[in-house]
Amino acid sequence: MPANRPHYILLPVSPLFIAFSLTCAFMLNLLPWGRWIGAPDFVALVLVFWGIHQPRRVGIGVAFCMGLLMDVHDATLLGENALAYTLLSYVAIMIHRRVLWFPVLTQAMHVFPLLLLAQAIQVLVHVFATGRFAGWLYFVESAVTVVLWPLISWLLLAPQRRAVDRDHTRPI
């Protein structure tokens, strides 16, 4: 690790904060830009974040429920987003120990294939159901979403950070 970067000891995360972050991500996906090419999938990003940082609290069940909510909102086949988010969460939980060793930009490089996988699953389900391919520009969404990884990491870890200046009267 670089010497100039502070070493944080994170406080435990509040379950209410996790629920709030997932709700905010869902609300951001509800905005009218959701059908634009390259619009980020905030729910997928937050699910991957919590799957990596809190795999025991946000798991496959939460991902499935969020996927069903997105299916209803997008008016897609029931289960298309649920399947993609479930597999996305599963893989994020599988690699969470490895990803946490790296700095944020390297973590983003690990998250990018996960987001591409989720989109590929959505495209495959859509192709099997309708016979139409959405086009290669559909995958720009993963690149735009992964660019937001450092910002999301900073925002979602902010309430858990301790003060950088150490108080020598405390044991930790």
Question: CA 127 to CA 112: how far, in whole Å?
Answer: 22
Q: In 3D, which of 120, 95, 88, 122 has the Cα closest to residue 110?
A: 95
pTM for the full model?
0.85
Q: What's the structural domain count of the chain?
A: 1
pLDDT of residue 107: 92
Q: What is the DSSP letter of 101?
A: T
Please give the residue range of the domain that contains residue 75.
Answer: 15-159
Any domain includes 46: yes
Any domain includes 168: no
pLDDT of residue 163: 59
Any domain includes 167: no
Give 36's contacts (C-beta < 8 A, 6+ positions apart): none
Q: What 3-state DSSP class applies to 33?
A: helix
Burial class (CB in 10 A: 0-12, 13-18, 19+), 169: exposed
Question: Torsion angle of alpha carbons 139, 23, 107, 113, nearest 10°?
Answer: -30
Any domain includes 129: yes
Tens digit of each residue's pLDDT, the chain (172 residues)? 444 455 567 778 888 999 999 999 999 999 887 667 888 999 999 999 999 999 999 989 999 999 999 999 888 888 889 999 999 999 999 999 999 899 999 999 999 999 999 999 989 998 998 888 878 888 898 999 999 999 999 999 888 876 556 666 766 5
Residue 56: phi and psi, rounded to 5, are -85, -20
Residues in the chain, total = 172
